[in-house]
Structure 1
């Protein structure tokens, strides 16, 4: 019995990153040996992702409410620079996608349309949807993981409860810590969950269907990698004047890897919260910036929209000038901020961008279908970039503010 307890203690205190890598390796091996058995462990991945999705809305509401209610009125706020980084980073990602698309022009073998899809018809519809999310019913917002609505209610409750008694604020803080401890418990099961996700993905999807879209994937993933390893570090260096790569690589390793396999920014919110706590960032800041980033910091989505739209233009022989490409970057960045948090949510915004070039909705939806075919790589890489960048920019802003306060 003691030996079993000792083994469990060593596992619980071991490196989570190494355990996740072990889960990935075992998942690939199982899928290679027996696809049937690999499909049978898919429920492990589903359980892990659903557990993260279940706790994330409650975590955000409780943390935001407690942080604002207990916030010192004299404490500095880092939200304005973080939001600026989010918006600039998304626009920079879209511009990068334009450059890569012109350097490596790609044409598509258009597939069948996507049944049952309902893409937005314009920027105003995207903005209208975002506006109505803010005034959503709080119960409905939590049930449907509407983080804009959850943030609005959390902030509202927090500001109202700033005048509450000390005992009420203490209860809020205790509940916040309790939910955080549940999150830590769930995250410890990440290696098992990712083992199930990897095994089932390799067994069911494979990568044969992706071979015909190798160049498209190269442009997509290449653009995302350039943002992750070149543009983001440059932004962090500008903010902190320090070597950015230790922070960037840690965020990719501890946030990006998990997001790659869960393919959900919402499910990765608890992971990012735990990483921010590990980095000793200001809780009042990251409790708001991380769920907000999961909604509006969408560099990966902007890249997906831009690359696939320009691929459609190249396929149809449409000449794209500099001004139109710049306008596409703006439209893609704004649209990405309204992308759905579900897997493949950014793909439904492609028809909106295609309309800039007069591409019909029927053809645009065929491009969306191509996106779903390559989604096992595209959406995973997109989510990894989006989610890890949330922590990168939050940490950079906090560090810059701390350096300014100490100087």
Structure 2
């Protein structure tokens, strides 16, 4: 019998959790044990498992990624252009999301924070103190404190205390200099970190196998506590994410294609259509990669030399939609707690979203771990990600399509800057346009 795919299992868990929470409420129980306490136990156990993954996964993934890019001569002219435009498209996506979530404020309902509607347990005061501790005291000194936290005096203590910004910076520096110590030591270290990353991927896959159970507990607990009051802020949040993704796809990307590649954005959409539809249906950048490469080579006219380097790298590190979603989700949770985040804290969210979208992009349900990292970096409760599960499947499909669109955009731009002719001109060297 064919096993049901994980996303369908999660969808069923959401529906069952909604029904169970609505029917049981907070009082019903069996043999003296309330169903609500069972929901809470199961959901908390799953969140703790996600927290357990954060430090070893993010450190090993970034070290291996930086060392892999920095080694083998890949940081030449082609690699430099690719990394610049991948960073640019992801940063623009994050900024679009940041602007829209500040304008719409989905975490505010009728002028009040949605904390109670979402059944978030931590008090606003406790969360504010946690965010303040993460940022450092003093309004003007928060940005400077953020840079200071990037260089922790004790990396072990930073890991124990969840100071992710310092761990990320250390991992980037470690991965870079790992390629500068000679093959004898560098190869040994690379094998170690690559093995650790592979093990963490296996553990993550194992944890995610229990995601339907964890999602059931989280959703049932929320519905049991608040009924269906949580639906409104979550719907507004989802529409905000979809709106930001649409702005990035229909405004930011076309401007880049028109101004840098001097090509038609409509031609890009037409060429990338098979890859975008596949990405939307599978919600997997890696699974879509063969179709993306075929579309860019045969339909867009990008050479194999460019596509074979740019697109596999993009499927690993370029996650426009994921980065945008992570930023909007973190801001939504902050708004739900009634927090006014300073420019410094929002800057931390932007930087962390950019880096984590690179560092954990290849794992199943990467956004869950990435959002947990961002929340920990700015002092917000990681437990709050439980409310994001309800509409996550459709948002995952949409942001994966935008991830692929960003990859295709970069491939077209890099090919154009490399002097290739016929890119997005309706014909390719292998296949002339039909009359």
TM-score for the superposition, normalised by structure 2:
0.54
Structure 1 residues 364 and 232: alpha-carbon distance in aligned structure 2, compared to 1, 3 A threshold: same
Distance 1:258 1:145 in 2: 28
1:385 aligned partner: 402
The Cα offsets for residues 85-105 of structure 1, whole Å up to 9 and x where unpaired, read as 100111111111110011100
Contact 2:306 2:414 in 1 (8 A): no
3-state SS of the aligned residue for 1:280?
coil
Distance 2:261 2:319 in 1: 22
1:273 matched to 2:293: yes
Distance 2:171 2:347 in 1: 25
After the TM superposition, which of the residue ranges 395-404 and 299-308 deviates more from structure 2? 395-404
1:365 aligned partner: 383
Structure 1 residues 87 and 331: alpha-carbon distance in aligned structure 2, compared to 1, 3 A threshold: same
Contact 1:259 1:380 in 2 (8 A): yes
1:91 matched to 2:109: no
1:286 aligned partner: 307
Contact 1:273 1:290 in 2 (8 A): yes
Structure 1 residues 87 and 119: alpha-carbon distance in aligned structure 2, compared to 1, 3 A threshold: farther
Contact 2:271 2:295 in 1 (8 A): no
TM superposition shift of 1:136: 4.1
TM superposition shift of 1:141: 10
Which structure's residues are more often helix, by fraction?
1
Q: How many residue pairs align between the two structures?
A: 274
TM superposition shift of 1:241: 2.1
Contact 2:302 2:420 in 1 (8 A): no
Contact 2:302 2:412 in 1 (8 A): yes
1:188 aligned partner: none
Structure 1 residues 282 and 144: alpha-carbon distance in aligned structure 2, compared to 1, 3 A threshold: farther
2:366 aligned partner: 345
Please point out which of 236, 255, 260 is paired with 1:234: 255
Distance 1:88 1:369 in 2: 30
1:256 aligned partner: 276
Distance 1:388 1:80 in 2: 20
The Cα offsets for residues 100-142 of structure 1, whole Å up to 9 and x where unpaired, read as 01110012544689xxxx9975134446677499924899699
Please point out which of 368, 374, 383 is paired with 2:391: 374
Contact 1:120 1:349 in 2 (8 A): no
Contact 1:339 1:345 in 2 (8 A): yes
1:221 matched to 2:263: no
1:320 aligned partner: 341
TM superposition shift of 1:405: 12
Distance 2:416 2:396 in 1: 30
Distance 2:371 2:197 in 1: 28
Contact 1:224 1:385 in 2 (8 A): yes
Distance 1:246 1:405 in 2: 12
Contact 1:302 1:336 in 2 (8 A): yes
Matches within 5 A, 1:1-400: 78-107=78-107, 108=114, 109-110=117-118, 122-126=164-168, 131=175, 135-136=190-191, 212=232, 213-251=234-272, 253-278=273-298, 279-359=300-380, 363-366=381-384, 368-400=385-417
Structure 2 spans left out of the alignment, 5+ residues? 9-71, 108-113, 122-159, 179-186, 202-227, 424-435
Distance 1:349 1:237 in 2: 32
Distance 1:101 1:358 in 2: 19
TM superposition shift of 1:250: 3.0
Structure 1 spans left out of the alignment, 5+ residues? 1-38, 47-67, 70-75, 147-208
TM superposition shift of 1:294: 1.3
3-state SS of the aligned residue for 1:78?
helix
